[in-house]
Structure 1
């Protein structure tokens, strides 16, 4: 992988200019590394004791932080990832150090076959799925719609939204009453993004998917919600943007900085627990203070 890092920005809340050439990027190459350890020093209190959680894109970024937080709360984990072996194995090691079980599932969530095989592997290991977190995504900036190729358009939609259909179709027969589906959308679903047109379109689709699936599954007792992060320091950022854009990433939100994965993960924990028992079809917005139309 080709990685470049240059001098840090003058604003200490922002990030050094850097770039990676491979999507969805590697956390191990980022400077500084994203913060993923659960916020707060006290150990967990077993909020997810006995629960089995499947996270796509679980090797790094938000997925990594969610895995560590859920492990601290007693969950057993299954982490899907594309090809980032170092990140995936590091996350598994950290989950196991927290005292939780963890299996890795390598493959492309844009493939219906992989989604079926991943769910089958989780059932074979743990016998059930209590929480499904659809988190995997990719993005390819283009300044002009004319520059979005057919191949890019299909890849973005296949990875970001088709995968959610495939994973839910595979997992649903194994989801009992009280199970949770949590989808990762984005602030771009609400305010748009001129240079991430296809990505933002998929994130808008995820909001509609979440609300519609929640209505469809409410009688079965399966809760469906989503999280719409704002700018968050994950491998997708240096893998998507030129180095100088990375150095200004997050400066536009009221808090004037990007979020860290450990600041986003608690939203997923809330939606996975009994605290969200009266919520379905809803979206949480950890976005640095940006007010958006929900």
Structure 2
């Protein structure tokens, strides 16, 4: 017998008639204009943040705690920054979990998910934020080792974390990936880094399509020049001195100026947004 395609559930169509044109009170159904104001937009949510110990990750963790979330801070080696971030979460009356290790390894990503479930019993938000960059002024200086490491940390980790968390996500959950303005305009001295950020952009759009029918939203944030520990660690003194001055706002942004983009995307305020990117970049116009 030939196979039949199962019918999809069809929602009721909006109706239109002569009498209701231009008259909102006659629309069927009525448009929704407001909802109850919630004092804590992320109340009792559990969020995992890779690279959550410093920089943008720390700002996100603190912002999430202020909005009522418990936070899992994933960091690589040194736990000093992670403990400082944890203390800020605690000051805001929320719980935290610190997990050190290398997110470029799939087994460690699975460990993060397992420990989070064991501690909190659920996962509402995954923020794939961990990244590395190594500027090089010549293409030939980018070794196979550097190229591999940059891709493993920046994009492979996002695959591994998303894969491991999938079975725990439910309708209303969200994944937020950190990409970069370099995904749109490129960077001559960050070739491998820019390539990974472009991959994250495509991954975000594809993952949003994959999860859309399940009611799980996937979006990204694409920061421009933000003043984080990564900048003085990887750029020379001259570049650090002028960092951020080439954007329309003529300055580098602060991590806190990026953090609330993640809060918005994780909250019900962004319930109709998926597969999109927010650009806190000081006014630089990007296409795509």
TM-score by length of 2: 0.86
| Structure-1 separation of matches of 2:179 and 2:96 | 25
Deviation at 1:126, TM superposition (A): 0.3
Superposed counterparts of 1:2-151, under 5 Å? 45-151=39-145
Q: 2:246 aligns with which of 242, 252, 261?
A: 252
Partner of residue 211, structure 1: 205
Q: For structure 1, list consecutive stretches of 5 or more residues without a partner in the other structure.
A: 1-43
Structure 1 position 185 matched with structure 2 position 185: no
| Structure-2 separation of matches of 1:275 and 1:177 | 15
Partner of residue 233, structure 1: 227
CA RMSD of aligned residues (A): 0.8
Segments ≥4 residues shifted beyond 6 Å: none
* Larger RCO (CA under 8 A, 6+ residues apart): 1
Partner of residue 26, structure 2: none
| Structure-2 separation of matches of 1:292 and 1:74 | 33
Q: How many residues align?
A: 251
Q: For structure 2, list consecutive stretches of 5 or more residues without a partner in the other structure.
A: 1-37
| Structure-1 separation of matches of 2:193 and 2:271 | 30
Partner of residue 4, structure 1: none
| Structure-1 separation of matches of 2:39 and 2:260 | 14
| Structure-1 separation of matches of 2:72 and 2:81 | 14
Q: Is the Cα contact below 8 Å between 1:231 and 1:249 reproduced in 2? A: yes
Partner of residue 283, structure 1: 277
Per-residue CA deviations over 1:113-154 (Å, capped at 9, x if unaligned) read 110001100000001100000000000001111111000000
Partner of residue 162, structure 1: 156
TM-score by length of 1: 0.84
Per-residue CA deviations over 1:85-124 (Å, capped at 9, x if unaligned) read 1100000011001100001010111000110001100000
Q: 1:270 aligns with which of 256, 264, 276?
A: 264
Q: Is the Cα contact below 8 Å between 1:230 and 1:288 reproduced in 2? A: yes
| Structure-1 separation of matches of 2:91 and 2:176 | 25
